[in-house]
Amino acid sequence: MNPAEPLDLIPVAIEDEMRSSYLAYAMSVIVSRALPDVRDGLKPVHRRILYAMRESGFTADKPYRKSARAVGDVMGKYHPHGDSSIYDAMVRMAQPWSMRVPLIDGQGNFGSVDGDSPAAMRYTEARLARSASYLLDDIDRDTVDFQPNYDESESEPRVLPAAFPNLLVNGASGIAVGMATNIPTHNPGEIIDATLALIENPELSLDELMKIVPGPDFPTGGIIMGRRGIRQAFETGRGSIPMRARAEIEEIRKDRQAIVVTEIPYQVNKATLQEKIADLVRAKEIEGISDIRDESDRSGMRIVIELKRDATPDVVLNQLYRFTQLQTSFAVNCIALDDGKPRLMGFKDVLEAFLRFREDVILRRSRFDLNKARDRGHLLVGLVLAVANIDAVIALIRGAPDAASAREALMTRQWDAAEVLPLLQLIHDEGNIVEDGKVRLTEAQARGILELRLQRLTGLEREKIQAELNEVAARINDLLDIIASRPRRMDVMRNELVTVRAEIATPRMTEISDALGDQSDESLIEPGQMVVTITRDGFIKRTPLDIFRAQNRGGRGRTAAGRRGDDVVVRSFNAHTHQWVLFFSSGGKAYREKVWRLPEASPTAKGRALVNLLPELGGDAITAVLPLPQDEALWEPLHLVFATASGSVRRNRLSDFRNIRASGLIAMKLDEGDSLIGVATCREGQDVFLATQKARCIRFQITADTLRVFAGRDSSGVRGIRLQEGDEVNSLCVLTHVDATVEERAAYLKMANAKRRLLAQSEEGDEAEEVVADDSGEDMEIAGDLTAERFEELERQEEILLTVTDAGFGRRSSAYDYRVSGRGGQGIANMTLTNPKRGREVVATLPVLEGEDVMMVTDVGRLIRTPVAQIRVMARQASGVTLCRVGEEEKVAAIFPVMEEEGEDVEGPDVEGADVAVVTDATPEDIAPEAPTSEGDVPPTEA
């Protein structure tokens, strides 16, 4: 360039240049690399591999060839990129766990589902699979357009004339610029059936198509959870399809079970999956697994996850689904090139695009075949004419000096058209021009005559020429009908699809389960009994019940709750992990939470602040907690009875509290200075029992007259008990109503006390039975009209109430000792509190069962667990016996029953019946030797 000449520069804004250059690059990636074509379901690299292998003769009926040779042909002729990308694409098309219908038949190491890399292409061999022929057939019959390759030295097809919807059968995935595609695989038989149905009725709805194709069908099997994601993906082209592995629980040997995985979700690496499980076990995020091993072989996949003896298989399996790729989601994003443009397509859109393309292929193929048939028929007409005038033809040829002259002589002469005119009409040939009953031969016909072998002049050969001409005529007419009639093209397409289906259809591998929906976190939680502890400052936690060992009455217990400063435990109860718990605040609001959602902590941990668990709690305190029945079907006939410290009560339906939002729900309107002390479930006809701190109590029946069902939740209720000055209600329980007279109750109590004394004196209990059976005994004289049958009936319905003071004294009493009165009275005495050492106030009164434990909680965080059977049954005025030993400044703050699960062992000494538990934060050195010092103490053997 001459420096003196001015440069031809055009100023361009950098924003415009960047925009245009980036768009050009983006479209190149989208169209030429990353996205499949909706017509054949292939990206350019896959299309080039299949076409190059066909051109090289690496078909299914030929021997295997080195993969490197096929890769070299593709790279040298069509794909100007690295050989690794070509070989990777070839490998994927040969992997049966990646493709629903593999298109490459590979021999050698083509990788594994464990993620192992394939062998180098110089070691493996490959050829086209039989299924690939249905994508390539008729490509040489002008069915698709061709384009020049990258250096214009070759030509390559823009699309393959696919005979089945390969995009849906084998799916696709790819990341372009600004967009991506992820299309799942489907069952080939179902896809072809849906295509056939759409040919029969183009107005089919998506629901009708989904009856034929219920969802994707992955080559690795597995289970699709529900149909909601499938429906969304089929309708819009986008959706999330949850999948999980197929796993079963097997007993591998005595007392040992294992989870056996035989199918995994699509595109999950089996080796990585096992490593993840092992990592979770080591990190103790999943417990209950003792070993994991891979027993997969040629017969199929088999991952064995061996469990510990005490593990619950279903829980461990649900945890594996939750935390590993045993359960994943396939994010469908069906973007494909339609008419050269990327388009988000639904299921029916893809099938309709394929039908349009396939119809065009059949039309172009028919036109191509028609031209070939006409050319052949044209030559056959010339041969027929030559045979009919063989003598004249021979004379012309013999008289010609050379072949060109002979050809010219044949073309110049006019021949009688009587022989060929019907044939020209038969094959619709317009190549020969007939004038005045004469016809001239074309150059092609003249060449055909000159190349005619003498053996074709025999009579038999002349008949073959005529027969072939008739066949060509029939073929031409059929092709003309196909070209002119769309129903005929649809018939041809239908027949070809049926043929393809017979070759590539296989049974469905992936199950679609309607029973499996979105997995709940609750299924990951080990079922079991928990001790829930709440402190005065609003800290809550749950601790497994089996941590607390059983002790005899009067023991010192173990630490159950750590304290912050002067914080004390004010409420504890036991519940199942899957139970709902209602929380009632001092402000009269209700909150709801599952037990397993409560923070789990060790016995010495302080727990978590309730204000963090219930953010809307604010400055209110939780004053009542109610575990609800685990089976929600039992909620419908149940009511809730509320009791306040001032003695008010109210009854509501439990269903009024079925739906509680996170911000809480108004439960009861409270007067200023009042608080909610208890809530219990009840039924019509049962009895409400209220007990106070000053040892007063009242019992009244629940009827529409005494305690109606309130329609609203914002009322303050009605009076339940009239309190003395300075007294407060601290206990609420619901008892079974028993129709018995005052005399019957007195007689029963006399006989029952006598029976209990005899049971304590006799291990066999024979004498106790005699008391009931002897009609002449002293007890029966006192009983009056109370017969043995009536005694047994009352005994079956008897309930026992446990009353405990703040000094750790307590006793059991029969509920028959508490008469039923009217609501709103002053009640009767519940316990005699004349000795301050035995207690100044009653902590709680609650019903207990013979097979239960009770757990007492002190204000310094100690819990003591003791069998109920070791606590004597006394009259309600009795002050009781020592249940736990408290310090000088220590008081019992709460008491609640503990029930063991069936078959659960309790640590500690062997005791008859259930236990009562007490836990403390004292160290072993702080526990003094135990000795009964208070009047009324009874050793365990005498209880």
Q: How far is CA 176 from CA 22, 63, 333, 342, in A?
A: 13, 37, 13, 10
Report pTM: 0.62
Cα angle 628-630-634, degrees, rounded to a multiple of 5: 80
* Identity of the highest mean pLDDT range in 81-95, 528-542, 612-626, 628-642: 81-95
The DSSP output letter for 722 is P
Strand partners, 627: 581
Model confidence band, residue 252 (pLDDT cutoffs 50, 70, 90): confident
The DSSP output letter for 113 is T
Q: Which two tokens stand for residue 554?
A: 């009067």
pLDDT at 383: 82
- Quick: pLDDT tens for 145-168: 999 998 999 999 999 999 999 999
Domain 360-486 - what CATH class?
A: mainly alpha
Torsion of CA 863, 868, 874, 876, to 10 degrees: 60
pLDDT at 493: 96
Model confidence band, residue 935 (pLDDT cutoffs 50, 70, 90): very low
Number of residues in the chain: 943
pLDDT at 780: 41
Residue 62 backbone phi and psi in degrees, to 5: -115, 165
Could you tell me which residues come within 8 angstroms of residue 444 by beta carbon, excluding any fewer than 6 positions away?
Answer: 375, 378, 379, 382, 431
- Quick: pLDDT tens for 588-638: 778 888 888 888 877 777 777 777 777 677 667 677 777 877 777 777 778
Task: Tell the burial category of 843 from Cβ atoms under 10 Å away from its Cβ (0-12, 13-18, 19+).
Answer: buried
| DSSP codes, 332-350 | EE-EEEETTEEEE--HHHH
Q: How far is CA 884 from CA 561, 809, 838, 865, 913, in A?
A: 17, 7, 11, 9, 19
Q: Is the model's pLDDT at 347 over the cut of 90? A: yes
- Quick: pLDDT tens for 654-664: 877 877 876 77
- Quick: pLDDT tens for 765-813: 444 444 444 433 344 444 446 788 888 888 888 898 999 998 889 999 9
Q: Please tell me whether residue 415 adopts helix, strand or coil conformation.
A: strand
Q: How far is CA 289 from CA 33, 146, 302, in A?
A: 45, 59, 17
Tell me which fold the domain 527-736+799-942 belongs to.
Answer: Neuraminidase (2.120.10)
Q: CB-side exposure of 263: number of CA atoms within 13 Å? A: 18
Element (H, E) at 359: helix 347-388
Q: Which of 78, 123, 266, 818 is catalytic?
A: 123
- Quick: pLDDT tens for 728-745: 998 888 998 888 888 888
> Is the pLDDT higher at 914 or at 578?
578
Angle between helix 347-388 and 228-236 (nearest 10): 50
Model confidence band, residue 557 (pLDDT cutoffs 50, 70, 90): low
CA distance 641 to 159: 75
Task: Report, as an integer, the average pLDDT of 288-310.
Answer: 91
Torsion of CA 570, 572, 578, 582, to 10 degrees: -40
Q: Is the model's pLDDT at 89 over the cut of 90? A: yes
Token pair 């002293």: residue? 778
Task: Report, as an integer, the average pLDDT of 846-865.
Answer: 81
CA distance 190 to 209: 10
- Quick: pLDDT tens for 133-146: 999 999 999 999 99
What stretches of 340-420 adopt beta strand conformation (E)? 341-344, 414-416
Task: Tell the burial category of 401 from Cβ atoms under 10 Å away from its Cβ (0-12, 13-18, 19+).
Answer: exposed
Task: Report, as an integer, the average pLDDT of 327-336.
Answer: 94
Token pair 């397993």: residue? 596
Residue 123 designated active-site? yes
Task: Report, as an integer, the average pLDDT of 114-136.
Answer: 94
CA distance 457 to 891: 128
Mean pLDDT of the chain: 82
pLDDT at 396: 85
pLDDT at 915: 36
- Domain spans, the chain: 18-183, 246-325, 360-486, 527-736+799-942
pLDDT at 804: 92
- Has domain 246-325 been given CATH number 3.40.50.300? no
pLDDT at 130: 95
- Quick: pLDDT tens for 6-42: 667 888 888 887 877 777 777 777 777 789 999 999 9
Percentage above 70 pLDDT, the chain: 85
CA distance 909 to 134: 79
Model confidence band, residue 205 (pLDDT cutoffs 50, 70, 90): very high
Tell me which fold the domain 18-183 belongs to.
Answer: Topoisomerase II; domain 5 (3.90.199)
